[in-house]
Amino acid sequence: MAVFTALDEDELAAFLQAYGLSSDATRTPLEGGVSNSNWCLDFGILSPALVLTVIEPPIARSELDFVFAFQRHLDAKGLPLAAPLGRSDGSLWGTLAGKPALLSPFLPGTVAVAPDSRQAGQMGELLARMHLDAADFTPRRSNPMGLPDMAAIVRRLDPLAIETAVPGLAADLASAFSEALDDWPQGLPAGAVHCDLFPDNVLFAGPRLSGAIDFYFSCTAPFAYDLAMTHAAWCFTPGDSVFREDVSAALLDAYARSRALSSGERAALPLLARVACLRILATRLRDWISPPEGASVTAKHPAEFAQRLRFYSGDRGARAFAP
């Protein structure tokens, strides 16, 4: 359960008043996240349920504006997601406990813990639509978790603690970082991307995908990197990270039917998938070795993505993206 911030009732009432809402709501902490504090606000018959989010990591106003503008842009295109609600003054966020905070619709549905090929196909189609609809979205944001950011996180960790968490991982990280810095592909089609479409950020209501959430890592990056990140997140069994060829094929085929991949993008996908694993390993190692003080949060073990990094570093990982 991710709750880092204690809410003051009077401050919360003032915050909700800016949306024309009463503070007379049942507040339930939401499980699953590791970065922000989230609650479901249930107003009963007075209003649909909403999600209250307090954004915990420091983030500049301009970056928040990018994130929320991108969500509103995709929402206007008809994509299923939870775009932030507007306040009475026209802004999309306010503050609680001195931190940025917002309200968004509570989307129906549940996450797919182990997505099947049908769900992966819907994810591939949605991801392609996001990338196509980003074509006329002009604001830009640098990747908040680019290679230098990942490397900085890892450098701050005790190498012995990394080895204790996953034996042999320190050497794998060094090799993968070196390769990524030397061989990062240039000139790939790029634009605004979600960059964090893990299964727990996608909801299904029955058999149908009902929405994508948590756009806080969205940035300007190659579309193929967003696809590689999604592939690394979706195409393995939870826990033991066994590669699922049927899920991989469904995701990639559905994506390519809506947005064709160039030969350069296709060739770059194995490296981009390794970089995606590096990004997740950096944050999971940090949270596992040095969890935030005072947070009620379930850290995820880095071993899963160590396995996936090793998969993408071998021949099977390269073949996974072959047409």
Domains of the chain: 9-105 (3.30.200.20), 117-319 (3.90.1200.10)
Q: CB burial class (10 A; 0-12, 13-18, 19+) of residue 318?
A: middle
pLDDT at 181: 94
Nearest residue to 105 (alpha-carbon basis) of 224, 212, 216: 212
pLDDT at 312: 98
pLDDT at 298: 67
pLDDT tens digits, 9-30: 999 999 999 999 988 888 988 8
Nearest residue to 131 (alpha-carbon basis) of 229, 277, 268: 229
pLDDT at 44: 82
Cα separation of 277 and 156, whole Å? 18
DSSP 3-state of 58: coil
Q: How far is CA 181 from each of CA 66, 150, 152, 279, rounded to the nearest angstrom? A: 27, 12, 14, 14
Which whole number is the average pLDDT over 214-220?
95
pLDDT tens digits, 276-314: 999 999 999 998 998 766 555 567 899 999 999 999 999
pLDDT tens digits, 184-199: 999 999 999 999 999 9
Q: What is the pTM of this model?
A: 0.91
Nearest residue to 276 (alpha-carbon basis) of 152, 147, 161: 147
Cα separation of 154 and 41, whole Å? 37
Which whole number is the average pLDDT over 38-64?
88
1 pLDDT higher than 50: no
pLDDT at 5: 81
pLDDT at 35: 76
pLDDT tens digits, 68-94: 999 999 999 999 999 999 999 999 999
Please, which residues have CB within 8 angstroms of residue 141's CB and are 6 or more apart in sequence? 62, 63, 66, 67, 192, 218, 219, 220
Tally of CB atoms within 10 A around 102: 25
As a whole number of Å, the CA-based R_g of the chain is: 20
